[in-house]
Structures are given as structure tokens and as C-alpha cells.
A and B are shown apart, each in its own frame.
Chain A
Amino acid sequence: MTGKSRILGIVRDIAAVVVTGLFIFPIFWWALTSIKPISAIFDKDRVNFFDFTPTFINYGVTLFGQSRSQIAIDEGLGMGVAGADAYDSRQSILESIIISLGATTITMAVSVFAAYAISRMAFRGRGHYLNWVLGQRFMPPIAILVPLVTIYKTAGLRDTDNLYMGYLGLMMIYALMNLPIAVLLMKSFLDDVPKDVDEAAMIDGATRWQTFRKVVLPMVKGGVAASAVLVFIFSWTEFLLSLFLTTDIRTVPVKIQTFVTSTGNEWGFIAALGTAAIIPSFIFILLVQKHLVRGLTLGSLKE
């Protein structure tokens, strides 16, 4: 390697690290804020990077249900005695998990079947069906939200009337929102499996169902898993639908908004819950790196 290209290579390495660093910085700052004591968060004199004693109070209160006022008294702090358990987010995390898992199950259950038919069977209206599925992706959720609240009230799917039906209602609408990505992604994975596989199985006497269940489905296991993970992430991060449709059920993104109060924002708690909400997504996204592009483009681009 010549000297010039070597220097260029080093410059490029530095640039790549700096740029990536810029995109990681807010996450780092967020995590750092979550272990800062109040005095360091609200430091008006300087930007406080590492000059503080780490504290886990924020996690204790939001994730482990410790009493905030008790901690304040123990530490001899005068601040923040009010709102004893409003920051305990365990319930919200549980609700978010239940709803995301339920929504993922429903989405995948209906999508895999539809995707199989679209990928394998020739029928009239196939293009129309695909367009309708895709159309759901184009529709801004707000367009159906207003009537949906009324419909949910009438149908008893509001969480204020019946908590379990409230869960179901939110899961169903999440399933609808995730339907396009799941169907199109599964179609793209199924299209990768040659049709000869089905034909061979059916010549051997297998029914459609057996072909699907015993032959094709095992071949797209990875695709099902990748789609499910993406649907889970999208359900986990959803905000608008949950904000409109539920009152008692507060998913994590909605719960975190309640920490913004008229007397000031509880940044320590917000950062702690926010960091905790990010971690599951990070783990999941690293699992599906390989299929991420395909997923984000609804199966139209492959890596």
C-alpha cells in the first residue's frame, strides 16, 4: 500500500468512527442520564459528563417499585416527596410485553396463511388482495382512529369497560398496522422457496395443509422468526394508537409521557424507563440484522 492511500484509509476510519459516534451519542447520553443524581442532570453551570456519583435510584423507582419519597428521606433530600408510586412502571412494562406478544402472535398467524396463498396459489384478484394489504401501510392510522374509538366503545373493546377486551382491542389494531409488513415479508421469504418443493410433496400425496405445515413452513422458519421480531419491535414502539385507544392500559411509550409534569420533567425517571425500553429492541435487532433491509422495505429489497 502506498503512503497516500494509507493516510486516506486512516482518515476514512476516523470519519467512520466519528459519524457512527454522533449517531450513538444520544443513546449514550440517555443511558448516562439514567444513572445521574438530580443535581447532575439539572446542572445549569456546565455540561456534566462524568463528574457525579452514579445512582440507581431512577431504576429503583421505575423498575423495582421503590418508594421515591422513602429514598428521598433516607438520603436526606428534600426534593420529590410527592407522587409516591406514579413512577412505578412495572405494570406498564408488563402490559407492553403482553400486547406486543399478543399482537405479534395474531399478526403472524393471519399473515403466514395469507402469504402462502399469495405466493403459491393462482387465483383471481390476487393483485387486488396484495394491493389492499399494501394499502394498509399507506393509510395514516389517524384516518381510522377517531371512528375506531367510537366503534370500540360500542363493541366493548375499550379497556375502561373491560380490561381484557381492552388488551384484545389494542392487539387487533396493532395486528392490522403490522399486517402489510408481515404479509409482504413472508411472501418474499416464501417466494424464495422453489414451487417444485410443493409440487413434489403433493405428488407424493400430501394435502395442501400437509405440504404447508410439514414441508414449506419448516423451510421458512428463519423468515417467520425475523418477521415476528420486526412485528414485535413495531408493536413495542407504537405510540399513537395506544394513546388514543386505551386509558387504563398504558404501554411504555405512553407511560413515559406521564413523567412530564406541570411542576417539571422527571428526567432521571424518564431516562431510566427510556433506557429500559430500548434494551429489548437492541437485543432483538441484532438478532435480525441479516433480514433488516428486507423487512424495512416490505420485502422488496434483499440484502
Chain B
Amino acid sequence: MKQIAVVSGKGGTGKTSLVASLAALAQGRAVVADCDVDAPDLHLILRPEIKEKREFLGIKRAVIDSSKCTFCGSCEEHCRFKAIDDFVVDSLLCEGCAVCKLICPAEALSMVDRLSGYAYISETRFGPLVHADLFPGEEASGKLVAMVRELAREQATSRKLDLILIDGSPGIGCPVIASLTGVDIALVVTEPTVSAVHDLERILGLAEYFQVKAAVCINKYDLNPDVAHHIEEICSQRQIKIAGKLPFDQTVVKAMVLGEPVIKIGGPAAEGIRELWRALELCL
């Protein structure tokens, strides 16, 4: 089984639009996993029919039983996350460590499970999709990403599919690390802007840190040909393959509005994506 993670460093470079097209090109041989759990958008194009829904319990939260509390203030003093104020726990700040419970002399604190989101196993017109919703403002996005990837592996095994396509989140932190570890290829989508180049170098550094092979897709390469050329130089120095170069194409947004992958609409970006898919297949 092979796994491709589409990541980017910088947000909004076109990961999800690209993954939707790759899902269509894979023609039912892939399980798609939307690992951008706190801003998941892939379902807007793949329009899944949900078959199974699983609860996601993130981190536990502290609760103070006011009938037992002696208002000694020990919990507030020891909480390093400043989550206790005036004998009330702020659940947005609580990181579930349970130090307050350990410290409390009156046994007034308990740790409770909290439903933090859902993971879904769905069917789409391009094959199975595993996706999730992290409730707004919740922690533990990395843990939910791990759950989505585990469900995707189960689906691939039971359906005898040999490819998992992962739509990652922007950045280089917890959910990205959870999306990237152990994949066969990290396809990094970038664009020719000063910001995106800076972010590209950080995500390529992260892939190297976790010993994951990377390939790059330059989206909207014609927006600034000089910067695009600079990206090619960076990749050549790092011996990283440019898997594709996609032109700026208004069809991409039109396809998004229609809820269709770009390759189903056509145009220059669609052509570029087809070439990229062929290059990716060779990489695998």
C-alpha cells in the first residue's frame, strides 16, 4: 500500500483542489483521507454519502465540583496553562494534564471525557473517503488526523486498494506531522510568492527531518516567473523532483463553485494536473 500526502506549508496554495482531481484520476483505486480536520473542504467537491460516523474523544477536561471545593486556590496556583480562574475551569485553555486533580486536597476535581469531533467513513463517486470534523476551537487535531489515517488504512486493506491520498493542513506543526509521518511521498504544493517560498523551505526541512521523500508542485507558476524559477533552483539544489507546474486558471474556482474536480471541467490547469498524476505514478 502506498500513501501520498499533499501538504504545503503556506495555506491556500491549492492542496484540496488538487487532491479532488487526483481522487478523480485515481478512478476508484485510492482511499482518500481528508486530514485537514479543522478546516476540511474536500467534501465540498467529493460530496460524500456518509456510511459510518465515529466519535472522537480528544483530551479530557478538568471539572471542579463546587460542593467539595474548599477554595484553597491550590489548583489555580499549579495550573501552568492558566486554565483555572476564580475556581472555574476554562475548557478552551485546559490541556487535560490532571495536575489540578493530583494537587487538590479536597478531591473536588475530576477529569471528564469530552466529545471533540467526529470521523466519517463515506462513499463518493470516486471511491471511499475518510474525513472528520474537529469541533471549532478544540485541541488534539493531530490525534484526530491519526484516527482518520487509521480508518483510511482499514478501508484500503478491506477493499484491497493500494493507494491512500491524504489532503493535509497548512503549517508544519502537530496536524501536519501527523499527516506526514510514514507516507511514501509528500507532494508539496507551492506558488511563486515570497511567502510561499519561505514556507516551502520549512516544509521541505520537515519532510527531511522525518525522512519522507518529497516532490513539488508549483501552482500558478506563471503569476511570477522569476520566483517560480527560484523555486526550481531550490528544488534542484535539494534534489527534489518538480512533479508538476500548473498555470493560473480561473477554471479552478469555477470548478469549486460547481462542486466538481477541475479535471472534470477541463482547461490548462486540468492538463497540468493530468501530467502531474503521470509523474506521481512514476515516483511510486
A interacts with B: no
Binding site for B on A (CB under 8 A): none
